[in-house]
Amino acid sequence: MAIELGLNEEQSMLKTMARDFLATETPKTFVREMMDDEVGHSPELWKKMAELGWQGLVFPEEYGGASMNFRDLTILCEEMGRAVMPGPFYSTVILVGLPILDFGSDEQKAEFLPKIANGEIVCTLAALEESGDLWADDLHFRALPRGDGYALSGTKMFVTDAKAADYMLVAARTRRTQNPEDGITLFMVNAKEWGIYMDNMTVMDLTRKQYAVRFTDVPVSASNIIGELHGGWPILQQIAFKASAVLSAEMVGVGEMAMEMTVAYLKDRMQFGVVIGTFQALKHKAADMYAAMEYSRSLMEWAAECVKENDRDAPMAVSMAKSYCGDSVKFVTDAGVQLHGGIGFTWDHDMHLYFKRGRYNDTAFGDGNYHKEVIARQLEANLM
């Protein structure tokens, strides 16, 4: 499939509008305020975003959305990466909204999508457990039949924005067979239900709060199953697939902003009576940063277009983008800290915000090494 990279007029307007809005509404003072907040969510900002149509950007108009496409969504998320925007947009729209759109029943779409689009509710995904890996044989959380529904018991780890959430999309094991991928079911659970307990987890990126969430015989109706009973694993794979493409876009925003901050510092900082940006070694490092982000952008845009078009190369493209963007954002933010010298290590400087967001995004749903293995397996399968 021929892919045309670059932005059309409507996408350029979206990018400019998003950057201006985030510069005004989410300055670094706000980001740090949310880092110190136990919940890390501003309902006021959430409503303003909903008024702009962001939460419903890719939802059909019948559900209160703007009927835009996946590439448009990545443009928005790239700008959120530049701003290291805190809050539950990623967990609500990417991890829950898109799965409901793709796999929910007509009734579930009508119930949840308009509320997400209007900013009425916050959602998140509760999938990972003690291992922290998204492997089917690591999912032991139980859903036992009870009456006309189920009772959920177990602990979910690394649940992003759980305390801000009104609903959680919970992955539970409803039966056990020799195939660990069989018997996993996804439930939409009211996060305020009795028997749900949340504990803050100590994590690197404080702009994305994560929690350990314990469920003690929490009731849920069978009508709240997303997709088919026992058929949740393919949905989780699809969530990881689209989330990886979105995280790649965020990493491009993170890396490019870190690079711009570093280049501005190199042009301003004086040492030995000259601007340090004139030193050849630092020029080479800055050039490497630029090259890394250019390649990252090309791969990310290719992946986003492939997802949008449902192209057969999409799985390969997304894994290539996630792997390369993850490696690049770690290199660029490492270099950003290094080239800022001592000030780059301080809490008061903003570089550590980008350093930490980049590492969160790299790790989530598989780091560079994981996706290189995925790529190798896909290539091997194509040769057979």
d(CA 269, CA 279): 11
More confident residue, 83 or 134: 83
* Residue 381 banded pLDDT, cuts 50, 70, 90: confident
Within this chain, do residues 30 and 90 fall inside the same structural domain, yes or no?
yes
Within this chain, do residues 92 and 218 fall inside the same structural domain, yes or no?
no
**Which of 93, 121, 149 corresponds to the end of one domain?**
121
Within this chain, do residues 148 and 244 fall inside the same structural domain, yes or no?
no
pLDDT value at residue 382: 81
3 part of a folded domain: no
User: If you average pLDDT over residues 161-168, what whole number do you get?
Assistant: 97
Within this chain, do residues 260 and 339 fall inside the same structural domain, yes or no?
yes
Query: Residue 377 above 80 pLDDT?
Result: yes
- Taking only the tens place, the pLDDT of each residue in 179-197 is 999 999 999 999 999 999 9
Distances (CA, A) of 313 to 7, 118, 316, 319, 350: 21, 34, 5, 10, 37
207 part of a folded domain: yes
- Taking only the tens place, the pLDDT of each residue in 329-349 is 999 999 999 999 889 889 999
What is the pTM (predicted TM-score) of this model? 0.95
Helix/strand/coil percentages in the chain, nearest 5: 55, 15, 30
Within this chain, do residues 217 and 321 fall inside the same structural domain, yes or no?
no
| CATH code (residue 172) | 2.40.110.10
Query: What mean pLDDT value characterizes the chain?
Result: 95
Q: Which domain holds residue 63?
A: 9-121
* Residue 49 banded pLDDT, cuts 50, 70, 90: very high
327 part of a folded domain: yes
1 part of a folded domain: no
pLDDT value at residue 112: 98
Query: Residue 103 above 90 pLDDT?
Result: yes
Query: Which is nearest to 26 in space by CA: 167, 151, 207?
Result: 207
Query: Residue 272 above 90 pLDDT?
Result: no
Q: How many structural domains compose the chain? A: 3
Within this chain, do residues 238 and 376 fall inside the same structural domain, yes or no?
yes
**Which of 121, 148, 179 corresponds to the end of one domain?**
121
Within this chain, do residues 242 and 351 fall inside the same structural domain, yes or no?
yes
pLDDT value at residue 378: 87
Q: For tokens 């950057």, what's the residue? A: 19
d(CA 146, CA 140): 18
pLDDT value at residue 313: 92
**Which of 121, 140, 165 corresponds to the end of one domain?**
121
262 part of a folded domain: yes
Within this chain, do residues 56 and 153 fall inside the same structural domain, yes or no?
no
- The answer to which of 36-45, 203-212, 244-253, 340-349 has the lowest mean pLDDT is 340-349
Alpha carbon 360 to chain centroid distance? 9
Within this chain, do residues 19 and 96 fall inside the same structural domain, yes or no?
yes
d(CA 56, CA 60): 8
Q: What is the 3-state secondary structure (H, E, C) of 208-273?
A: CCEEEEEEEEEEEEHHHEECCCCECHHHHHHHHHHHHHHHHHHHHHHHHHHHHHHHHHHHHCEECC
245 part of a folded domain: yes
4 part of a folded domain: no
Within this chain, do residues 135 and 88 fall inside the same structural domain, yes or no?
no
Within this chain, do residues 192 and 133 fall inside the same structural domain, yes or no?
yes
Within this chain, do residues 247 and 227 fall inside the same structural domain, yes or no?
no
2 part of a folded domain: no
Query: Residue 1 above 70 pLDDT?
Result: no
Asked if 113 contacts 188 with a C-beta cutoff of 8 angstroms, the reply is no
| CATH code (residue 326) | 1.20.140.10
pLDDT value at residue 74: 98
pLDDT value at residue 380: 87
Query: Residue 233 above 70 pLDDT?
Result: yes
Give the start-end residues of each E strand in 161-195: 167-173, 184-190
* Residue 369 banded pLDDT, cuts 50, 70, 90: very high
* Residue 271 banded pLDDT, cuts 50, 70, 90: confident
| CATH code (residue 35) | 1.10.540.10
